[in-house]
Structure 1
Amino acid sequence: MSLLAINTYAQEEEVLSKKGQPVLPKAGDFGIGLEAKPYLEFLGNMFNGKTNNTISPSSQTIHLRYFLTDNSAVKLNVTINNSTTKNLYYVQDDAAIAVDPNSNAQVEDMRTRFYRSTSFNAGYQQFRGYGRLRGFYGAQATYTHSTSRYAYEYGNQMTAANPRPTTYQGRSSERTLETRDGNYNSLTAGLYGGIEYYFIPKACFGAEVSVNYGYGWESQGFRVYETMVGDQRVEMDKPTSPGDINRSFKTTGASSTYAGLYVMFHF
């Protein structure tokens, strides 16, 4: 009798759509979602007159989770942020100027920035709520790895005849070819919570905030440059930073315009 009462109670508490479909995820359901911020910014800009309005999901978080029970789940969020930015600059053509001081010939210098960042966030969460609205809380840990470097290419070559060629930064007997920050790694752990609203069966909007303690470390950075030694062009490198260590304790999501908003679908 008691088992029957429990089952009857569970059925009465189940949230169903108008078509009789279960609205909330069940044990064994898998969820996948995306951060909503880039798309909400796009929609917002449509109504404020901003020109060149585009969706820029270059830094996008993919939300994954698996329901262990009807009211508990494990999650894995993956954030990838990769970008390559090239800047071109016109400078005078030193070879043409040497032949004709009145020449207007130009060559191009180029600076390229390469940035790569990947983050993995894993956690456990518990749910409770009423109807389509559910709150959740849990614990999480995050690992992040990132690298950043600049590469430089010049239109005027460095030679014995032209040891201080013109660049977009002026003239110098030492010319930077590459700068590389150290590899950055961080570990954070903390608590998080939020709310979700299921607008259709097995699909929800969610908002999340968290408080985390973090520890990060960065390896040595260096610079590669070219210079003339006698009549020979040589490339040399030297350290620019011995590396860094940082610690932090902070909240995330609460001060954001979109408060960590995401949308998720379950199957």
Structure 2
Amino acid sequence: MKKIIILLTLIVFISSAFAQEEVTETAPVNKPQEKVVNKNGQNILPEAGDLAVGIDMVPFLNYLGNFANNSVNNSYNGNFLATPNTLFAKYFLNQDLAVRGRVMIMSNNFQNKQYVVDDAAIFNDPNSNDRVVDVMQTVSHDYMIGAGIEKRRGKGRLRGFFAGEINLMFGADKTMYTYGNNYSELNQDPTVYNFGTNDLGADRLVENNDGTYFGVGLGAYLGVEYFIMPNICLGSEVGWQINYTENTQETSIIETWNGNEAEEITTLDSPGNANFNYGFNNPTASLYIMFHF
């Protein structure tokens, strides 16, 4: 962690040292907008109509830390605005006022495949080494969209800001199992691979549906940005949020032999729940770099 802090200090120092000389112009009284330009006349600070896109710096810090000491266990305890895989942007109404927006789309489809003995082959030949495949498939989806307003102030390259946002969230999770050995008159207790919770003895789990969730959140944020060169800044922010989420009914499907044939039975695991929470969403602060166009 000390190496990362030293590295960040060096980045800011070197960027400032090599940045072109800046000139600060005081705007007229009736238009209190500070203008900071380099010696070539390029604006260092964003202006009305500029669009900014942010990139999470945490993965880069992890990589640099691992590279520096030949380790894979380094980590920086921070998240990009508290939400992974988020596209974060700002549109500037003027130098000191911006509209914020964020979109997060994250889907995961994971398959865990394992060999088990082929019951039919063993029945025909007890010495058979034939195998079939059992599969556990986990599917999850998480979506979030947010919008807000940001007020900025500061002097020179250093800008502080406070902002308010509203966020909407939606997601779903499901785990499904497929088996290589089927139920039959001759095989009423087929061999299955135990992925953890699917082997129920004579029965087996076919699907575990955790339902869907919907949530809404309100947040207030404080942050700071430093423009290391025209149109590029490093920033960090911390936020306080109120969130409310609701989860729908959770169900499971179990496959069993009913004496005559294989049967699937749906069970109700949970009627759903609601959750209300508030507090600092990222007390260790985030770290990001933003590009302005």
What's the TM-score bracket when you normalise by the shorter of the two chains?
A: 0.7 to 0.9
Aligned pairs for 1:1-267 within 5 A: 5-6=28-29, 10=33, 13-50=34-71, 59-169=84-194, 172-255=201-284, 259-267=285-293
TM-score (norm 1): 0.88
Residues 180, 235 of structure 1: CA spacing in aligned structure 2 closer, same or farther, 3 A cutoff? same
Structure 1 Cα separation of the partners of residues 95 and 66 of structure 2 = 38
Q: Which secondary structure state, in structure 2, belongs to the residue aligned with residue 182 of structure 1? A: strand
Deviations 1:60-86 (A, max 9, x none): 111111111210111001122211221
Deviations 1:154-182 (A, max 9, x none): 11112222121111125733221111111
Q: Which secondary structure state, in structure 1, belongs to the residue aligned with residue 59 of structure 2? A: helix
Structure 1 Cα separation of the partners of residues 65 and 247 of structure 2 = 37
Q: Which secondary structure state, in structure 2, belongs to the residue aligned with residue 24 of structure 1? A: coil
Q: CA deviation at 1:238?
A: 1.8
Structure 1 segments unaligned to the other structure (5+ residues): none
Aligned AA (1:226):
E
Q: Which secondary structure state, in structure 1, belongs to the residue aligned with residue 65 of structure 2? A: helix
Deviations 1:123-159 (A, max 9, x none): 1111111111101002111111111111111111122
Instruction: Provide the aligned C-alpha RMSD in A.
Output: 2.4
Deviations 1:166-205 (A, max 9, x none): 1112573322111111101111112111011111211212
Query: Contact conserved, 1:80 with 1:118, CA < 8 A, in 2?
Result: yes
Query: Contact conserved, 1:165 with 1:172, CA < 8 A, in 2?
Result: no
Residues 224, 171 of structure 1: CA spacing in aligned structure 2 closer, same or farther, 3 A cutoff? closer
Query: Contact conserved, 1:156 with 1:166, CA < 8 A, in 2?
Result: yes
Deviations 1:202-237 (A, max 9, x none): 121211110111111100011122222232222221
Structure 2 segments unaligned to the other structure (5+ residues): 1-26, 75-79
Structure 2 Cα separation of the partners of residues 203 and 123 of structure 1 = 22
Residues 157, 18 of structure 1: CA spacing in aligned structure 2 closer, same or farther, 3 A cutoff? farther
Q: CA deviation at 1:250?
A: 1.4
Structure 1 Cα separation of the partners of residues 62 and 206 of structure 2 = 37
Structure 2 Cα separation of the partners of residues 92 and 183 of structure 1 = 36
Query: Contact conserved, 2:183 with 2:261, CA < 8 A, in 1?
Result: no
Worse overlay, 192-201 or 41-50: 41-50
Percent of pairs identical after alignment? 36
Aligned AA (2:129):
N
Structure 2 Cα separation of the partners of residues 43 and 199 of structure 1 = 20
Q: How many residue pairs are counted as aligned between the two chains?
A: 256
Query: Contact conserved, 1:59 with 1:82, CA < 8 A, in 2?
Result: no
TM-score (norm 2): 0.80
Residues 129, 70 of structure 1: CA spacing in aligned structure 2 closer, same or farther, 3 A cutoff? same
Aligned AA (1:181):
D
Q: Which secondary structure state, in structure 2, belongs to the residue aligned with residue 166 of structure 1? A: coil
Structure 2 Cα separation of the partners of residues 181 and 162 of structure 1 = 31
